[in-house]
Structure 1
Amino acid sequence: MTNQPMSFQQLSEYLSRIPEEISFTGSSKAKFKSLTIALLSLCFAVVLLFKYLEASSGKGALILFSVITVFFFILTFKQWGDGKISIVKLTHTDVTVKDLNKKIPLECIENISYTYDSNDTLKIFLKEKIKDLALTSKFNSLRGASVSIQNKKDKQVIVIIVPYSFNVDGKRLYPEEIQNIFEQYLSIPAIKKEMIISPAQ
């Protein structure tokens, strides 16, 4: 947006250019790496299971390795689906973060920071604490991204770490693209407020 006053029509046109929603997923590279590890673990568990069956080591060992095999079998299919999980979803009203029990209204977000090295780290800084905001899973790091909540005095920071990079529709996003997308969506509350003030032409 420009710093110059905009008419109702200009504000409406600007708002219409922002997609109704956009979802960030993990990268395909991370997905296939996780899937490879899960498949190798599954093969290893199956081999051990057959070895113990051949050795007739008893029901205890059979049950143990059957459980291990089933666990890695489930993990394999889970890792395959994780690449499609929406980690962060932006709409014109709020932000949904995977494994958080509440949606975050756009007007509650102060700003964001994004760093990229071996992983993508997105930090969402809230203007104030959201009551009862919590993680829904204690094992979120196994599901495509690591999500945590940092409490700092009267404010909160949502930290999201994704292996390699964020993707949108299978396309890798670079730091400046993510920054621009968030700036667009975070400007929406101010645009809506301005549209109420500005008379329709």
Structure 2
Amino acid sequence: MGVLQSVNEQPRVPIGRITFHLQTSLYRKKDGEFSKVRDYIKIGETRDVFDVNGDYIEIQNGLYIKNIDEHQYTMTFGEIIVRGDSVRSCSKNGIILRKLRPGLKVKVVSLKFISNDVTVFGINEKEFISSDEDVQYVMGIFEFGADSAVLKNGQSIKFQKGDITPYQRVEGHNLLLLDGTWLDISTLRGTLYGC
């Protein structure tokens, strides 16, 4: 599930996805206070995550969950795609653990920003891959909510309702697509989803 964007609003961008291993209570925030709602999340459900604030995790539709034991859910922050044939994962100490095959897609379970240019992606609790490696980070996807024609590199490209395009970063109303071009979604109808 994602959030339908309206033309004039700043898009709400999911920062990740969460899958629940236990039935989980839901909360709504009103006047700074959290109150339990009647609905709950079922085992196996997956939702977009928009914010982690203290003991609460904001999911879609203005609902929250209480920060439960991390073994009761799996949270991911996009995925990486291995592009090169010499990409290796390593431990926290930098010890090389294994070589990854090109085309492999792995979920990112943690992010650590080392500098403006380098990010370390955790693919599980013990394995990490640096953005210095030949990998492509995918933050989420944009699903077109209506037939649209957009300008890309000076050419008009048509998208149909339901078409999706993955992106690696969001700045305002602009999505940085995997091919390095920017897509302005300010005049488009569509939905942003986490990966």
TM-score normalised per structure 1: 0.22
The higher radius of gyration belongs to: 1
TM-score normalized by structure 2?
0.23
Give 1 or 2: higher helix fraction: 1
- The structure with the largest strand share of the pair is 2
